[in-house]
Amino acid sequence: MFIDRVKIKVKAGDGGNGVTAFRREKFIPRGGPSGGDGGNGGDVWLESDEGVNTLLHLRYNPEHKAQRGRHGEGSNRHGKEGESIIVKVPVGTQVFDAEDNELMFDFTEPGQRFLAAKGGKGGWGNQHFATPTNRAPKYHYTGRPGEERELQLELKLIADVGLLGFPNAGKSTLISVVSAAKPKIADYPFTTLEPNLGVVDIGDFRSFVVADIPGLIEGASEGAGLGDRFLRHVERTKLLLHLVDVSSLSGRDPVEDYEVINRELENYNPKIAQRPQIVVATKIDALDDPERLENLRRRALDDDVPFFAISSVTNVGTKDLVYRVAQMLDEIAENAVDEEEEFEFDVQ
């Protein structure tokens, strides 16, 4: 089960209490105060891990509590510090404060750590309060409570390419053909209910990651159909493949489908709508009206968007599409490097 949004509670360990004690040793008549300090409470850390793909493990384990510090003891013995705990999350997880929805941390790389709750400081024993005028203090500090908060975790898949389109546009079939991913494929709408990731190998030790996003419909940016729940998964992608069914089986107009999806992207996030895009006409093996294909081709060219016509079933045009995707990803990477170098030059 793919779970991309959960709410958890984290509680750091409380600090141990200090203690009031006095030395009572045979040959030391005036031993003085000897109360030890309490140990610090354990912390709660979140850590990104490549071995974790969803937030499912947190849905059924929503509370995470670190160990409290041990209390101090006599003879100046300090309490043991509480053990910290580490909660594993997938790369791409965003951490929000559940109360005010403020973004606290964004895991974009494996091995990153975020201190979700800090342990309480241990209290001082009475040895700390001895002075020339107060040689036998009979008080100590209690430990401070550890931090406690509720967090909203949201996962945004990290992929190079995002597949977009209406339900049954052929997204799952395409990703099954060009990668080793095995999504569910069936002849009814909303077959894909959760995003799928596939790695496309283009040879020479080069590859890219494709995310198959569940089908969108008009009003998706406002919650219609599967809504905007999955639109956020394309926010981190570098390139969008916009799949449009040009066969008459869909009962819709291809150009209108193309415009609707782009409109939903614009409504959801204008920055995503400006992302590089390739229009892909699918199911040309079932094409019964060539004018449908030509209308979509002309519209894509009018928008200055690359256009490909493919059939994933017969494997027509898929190799050319993969190579074009790889080429555009290289161009995007080169432009990003040039912009970074130009920025560094301007700063200097």
Enumerate residues 6+ apart whose C-beta is below 8 A from 62: 6, 7, 8, 9
> Where are the chain's structural domains?
1-155, 161-347
Distance, CA of 298 to chain centre: 37
CATH architecture of the domain with residue range 1-155: Distorted Sandwich (2.70)
CATH architecture of the domain with residue range 161-347: 3-Layer(aba) Sandwich (3.40)
Answer whether 0.75 is exceeded by the pTM.
no
Q: Which of the 8 DSSP states describes residue 226?
A: T
Q: Residues 172, 174, 179, CA angle at the centre, nearest 5°?
A: 95
Per-residue pLDDT of the chain (348 residues; tens, 9 = 90+): 567 789 999 999 999 999 999 987 777 767 789 999 999 999 999 999 988 878 888 988 999 999 999 999 988 899 999 999 999 998 889 999 999 999 999 998 999 999 999 999 999 999 999 998 888 899 999 999 999 999 999 888 778 898 888 888 888 888 888 886 564 444 434 444 566 778 888 877 788 888 887 756 555 455 444 545 567 777 888 899 999 999 888 788 999 999 988 988 888 888 888 889 999 999 999 888 899 999 999 999 999 999 999 998 899 999 999 999 999 999 888 886 655 555 454 545
Q: Which of the 8 DSSP states describes residue 304?
A: T
Q: Which amino acid is at 172?
A: S
Phi-psi sector, 190: left (phi>0), alpha (psi -120 to 50), beta: left
